Each structure stands twice: as C-alpha cells, then as structure tokens.
Amino acid sequence: MALDSKIPKGPIKDKWTDYKNHIDLVNPANKRNIDVIVVGTGLAGGSAAATLAELGYNVKAFCFQDSPRRAHSIAAQGGINAAKNYQGDGDSTYRLFYDTVKGGDYRSREANVYRLAEVSANIIDQCVAQGVPFAREYGGLLDNRSFGGVLVSRTFYAAGQTGQQLLLGAYSAMNRQIGRGKIKMYNRHEMLDVVKVDGKARGIITRNLITGEIERHSAHAVVLGTGGYGNVFFLSTNAMGSNVTAAWKAHKRGAYFANPCYTQIHPTCIPVSGDHQSKLTLMSESLRNDGRIWVPKHKKDVEAIKAGTLKPKDLKEEDRDYYLERRYPAFGNLVPRDVASRAAKERCDAGFGVNATGEAVFLDFASAIERYGKETAHVKGLNENDAALVKKLGQEVIKNKYGNLFQMYEKIVDQDPYNTPMMIYPAVHYTMGGIWVDYNLMTTVPGLYCIGEANFSDHGANRLGASALMQGLADGYFVLPYTIGDYLSNDIRTGKISTDSKEFEEAEKEVREKLNFFVSNKGKHSVDYFHKKLGKIMWNKVGMARNVKGLTEAISEIKALREEFWKEVKVPGTNEEYNEELAKAGRVADFLELGELFAKDALNREESCGGHFREDAVELDGEQKGEAKRDDENFAYVAAWEYKGEPSDAVLHKEELEFKDIELKQRSYK
C-alpha cells in the first residue's frame, strides 16, 4: 500500500485555511443520522466527543476507567503551549511551528505541526471560556512560563495540575452532551477489536470490565484517542492501566504503525528505588525554570554524598558541575527533554550518579529561593542581607509556583526539597510513535481515525514539553471535527450500521476465544512476571542507548518471552466477572507483540535522534557520547509496518518527507 498523506497544496501557512474552505460538509439535519464511536476520554478523546456531539452527531464514548475524568491526561503537570506572545518576547505561530519541528529532530510532519501552531491560540480561549483556572499575573492577565527547547515563554499553566484542570474542562463539555443525550457514555468498557465492513471501520468489540459481558457497537466512523504505549517498558510515568491494546488491534486490522521506536525519555522523574516499584513518578519539566541540575565534579564527593558523610547543600559551588549550563549556555537547564536525558545518563554512566544505585542527578532550588527572596525583600522594603528572612520569603514564592510538586516529592522520597536538592533521573514518559494518520487524522483503514498521543504525526523523534496537551486538544476541538465531516458526508444515506453481520460475529468470536484461553490456561507465572521481564529487555537494550548487538538480542529475547507467555501465563478467576488480571493479560499480550516491532524499528534506524543514542552509528567521544550527531542528510522517514500474521512478518515501508518550508540544519543547542 502506498502511503498518501493527503497534505493540501500551497504555502504551508495557507494549507489549513484553504483546506477548510473546500471540504465537504454534513448539514445539521443529516448529522443527527450519523453515529461516531470515540474510544478514550482523555484530552483528545474527551474534547472530540464533546465537540462532535455539539455539532449534532450521535456519539458513543468508551473508557476503561470508572469515569472519563480518570483518564491519564489528568496527570499532566507543567502546562500547555500556545503562540499568543503574551510576554511580548518574540513568539509567533511560525516560531512555535519551527521549535516543534526542530525539537523533534526534523522528523515531524510539517503541515500537521503548522496547523497545530495555528490553532494553539484558540485552545486557550476555549479553555478560559470553560472556566479552566490558568495562572494569572498580578494585573489579571494569563501568565506564561518557559519549557525546554525554546527561547520564549509560551506555556500556560494551572500550578502543577494543568492536565487535571484542562481535563475537567473537557469533561464538563462532555457532561453537557451526555445530559442532552448526544453522548452515550460507556464507562469501564475496554475496546478489544475493530470491526471492518466492506473495508471500512464500522464498529468495535468491547468487554464490560465489571460484568465481563462482550458487546458489539456499530458506527459510521471510529475515533481512537487512547494515549501512548510507554508501559511497554513496565516502569514508566504512565498510569498503570495505560496500554496499547486499542491501537494494536487497529494495527492488526490494517492500520499502519509509524515510528514505534521513538520514545520520550523525561529527564525529571523520581529515580527508581527498587524492584518493588510498579510505576515511576514525574516531576514537572516546569521545575527546570528555577531548578539547576548538577552533579559533583569529583568522584570523592560523589562517594561522600552516597555514604551520607557530605550533605549535597554543603558542597561548595566550585565543586559542582552544572553540566547543562556548561554544555549548552544558550538554553542552560531548559534544553529539550532528549538532550537533558542523554546528558544525565552520560554523567551517571561516567560514575557521577548521586544516589545508592548511581542513577540520579540533583535538581537544586537554592539559587532560585535566594533570588526570589531578595527580590521580595526589596519590593517590601525589608533587609535583603538577612539570610533567614530571604530564605523564608523565597520559599514562599517557590511554594506558590510549585507547592503541590514539592509536596508530592516529599511524600514519595521523604526528603524536604526546600532544604535539600531533589534527585531526578530520566524515565519513559511519552511515545511519539503510534498509528500512522494522514492530514485528516485518518489511518490507513477508511473511517478509522486516531488522535492525540495515539497517532504519530506531530512530534517527530522528541516531543517538546507542554506540547502533549496542545496536540490532544487541537485534534479534538479544532481539527477532527472538520476532517471527519469530509468523510462522513458520503454516509448521510447509509442508515444505521447493523451489528448482526458476519464481520461483527467473527470479531466477537476471536475476542471470546482469546479470553477463554487466558482463564483456562494452566500456566505457572503471573502476568506481571512477563511484563517485568519485557520491561527490562526494553529499557536495557531498546531504550536510550542502542546498538546492533543489543537490538538483535532484544528481538530474539522478546520473541522467546512471547512464546513462553502463551504457554505459561496464569490468569485466576473467570471471564464473566470483574477480573483485572484478565484485562492485564490481554494488554501484556499486545505489549509483547509491540515490543518486538519496536525493537525491529530501532534496529532499522541507524541514526541517533531524539532520546535515543545509536552507539554503533557514530564515533564515541568521551563525555560527548550523550550529544551524538545524526547523519548529515537530515532526512526523516516514517516507519510504517504492515501487519501480516506474526509481528516477525511485518513489512517496513519508508515514506521520505520533504522539507521545503523551513531551512534544514543540524540541531544544535550550544
């Protein structure tokens, strides 16, 4: 199959406007006769469901959580980007577009990214109208802060709980439509397959997670807004329920998967403390606005800190290595996430890690507390030389900006971050890869759409901070409602889609057979046993540092683990009751297939890009290992995989993307 991105002709700044002016529309009377299924109720799915229902479509919305407002979008902390230039520091639609493409190592689809930058300002207006309590300056205007990889302040935020507040806005819009009867909400339902009729997506098969009942649901189009697959690594910052199942089932029904190996490694996470952990906790990137990242310059000080004979705050300034400020003076601690993550790993690999495992660096707020304290004292006419007063005033400022994050850190680590530096280390956070979509956000299966983190289109090899919420809401509020109408305009006379067809019957049969296998298999290992093993293979051999030997081993090991899983997995209980272990078994089965594809994609790519360093692709140069450059061609391609039976039979397709609209240059943050 040839991939057709359907990008409109013309200058990039005019593509979206011209496109909207010429697409086919569905009039309000006809929308009442069209059904749309939306799977996932995070920012992408929730905003899409609310907007489509507002337009008049009949929407069925599904989530596996007990409420739409439990979607993982609620966990986002730092903010949402928009090119409003409220700070007057030179921001613009073009600069947001350029920063996003550059930050993604020139591997984003430019037309989609420019559209994203265009509608970003509308998102903020929409959310303010919904009552989202964005932070405001003294004069009442919306406040902004900086995030990594940019030189302007364009990130709107609500303390350290921006995702929660934005999700509540989308949830309220959904609730209005649920009350009107335009959205039929299915909580605690998990999608287990896509149903195609005459080549088009016409419905899904779900399992009621409370009763175990298998259900058929039909519609004229299906929209997936099911998030990312970071939990393929077992340990990640994702909610434990986050999974790839919906996207993977779509893939197995013919939807191409693109860029599976591009993973966001977030640099500011609480380090792993032991094998008992089942997930990791994110510390918002916004902390890098005021926190300074460092390790000791000398290994004797590292050992003293580990032994407890030297407190980090007592180490002299001249004995500290603020390595990001040293290497990247223009951006300092606000380099993009991939750069900060690789640099932290390089320092720890070199023996400068500051915790017991040697996998942590410091994030220190002492300088910010002193700076804010002196400024506040000056404003109030108090003594700027009173150290105790300055510290007290500075801590109050930091508490107002990041208080809930500091509180969360103290509860988890049992250390007071106001008085001792935080410890952080990179961890899996977000996936840039996902279902391949065209400019309309449609997959290679007609009538099947994919939005938000679940698709591949906007972030290339690395997502800039605060762009996830932007993409989810842009897709749901302002892009999909236009593009899906162009497709549905051909369905105004189709009528209701029956669920009694052989396609629905066969899909349901496959789902039942798989569930019956799990509960009847007489294995000896739990689902988590296999998931943890997969996670270790993925992190050690398919994570930040990669090479041919490790990737080849990973492919073989994952395949063997997958075979063992189907022989030895043990799932207690039945499939006709609430059975979380059964739900988990299906998700891990999909992770095992995805993991193999993930490793194959990584093996195929010989360049270092994003958060991934290909050790055998460049010449190593001591400490510069974490700053490896890509090949000089600066080309980018989509790895789209056609599923034919087993993952090992997948066929790789490359689509080279042309970069005509911006000047290509090697990404540099020095």
**Interaxial angle between packed helices 110-130 and 93-103, expressed in degrees from 0 to 180 and rounded to the nearest 10:** 120
Cα–Cα distances in angstroms (integers) from residue 434 to residues 62, 211, 244, 263, 652, in the given order: 20, 31, 9, 10, 15
What pLDDT, in 10s, does the model give residues 363-422?
999 999 999 999 999 999 999 999 999 999 999 999 998 888 999 999 999 999 999 999
Type and span of the H or E element at 58: strand 58-62
The stretch 151-165 carries a mean pLDDT of 93
CA–CA separation, 449 and 250 (whole Å): 10
Highest mean pLDDT: which of 175-189, 328-342, 595-609? 175-189
The answer for residues whose C-beta is within 8 angstroms of residue 472's C-beta and 6 or more apart is: 42, 43, 44, 47, 73, 225, 451, 452, 453
The answer for residues whose C-beta is within 8 angstroms of residue 621's C-beta and 6 or more apart is: none
**Residues 144, 102: contact at Cβ < 8 Å?**
no
CA–CA separation, 290 and 438 (whole Å): 39
pLDDT of residue 615: 81
**Residues 447, 491: contact at Cβ < 8 Å?**
no
pLDDT classification of 149: cutoffs 50, 70, 90: confident
pLDDT of residue 11: 96
- Phi/psi of residue 213, nearest 5 degrees: -70, 135
The three-point CA angle 75-100-286 to 5° equals 40
CA-atom Rg of the chain in angstroms? 25
pLDDT of residue 403: 86
DSSP state of 7: P
Q: Which two three-digit tokens encode residue 524?
A: 């000896």
CA–CA separation, 251 and 256 (whole Å): 6
pLDDT of residue 669: 34
Q: What is the pTM of this model?
A: 0.90
pLDDT of residue 633: 29
pLDDT of residue 278: 82
Q: Which two three-digit tokens encode residue 478?
A: 């302002």
- Out of 145, 202, 288, 337, the active site residue is 337
Neighbours of 419 (CB within 10 A): 13
Q: Is 371 a catalytic residue?
A: no
Give start and end residues of each alpha helix (H) in 450-579: 468-473, 480-488, 502-520, 527-542, 548-568
pLDDT greater than 60 at residue 15: yes
**Residues 156, 550: contact at Cβ < 8 Å?**
no
pLDDT classification of 572: cutoffs 50, 70, 90: very high
pLDDT of residue 645: 40
pLDDT of residue 643: 36
Q: Which two three-digit tokens encode residue 443?
A: 């997959």
pLDDT classification of 617: cutoffs 50, 70, 90: low
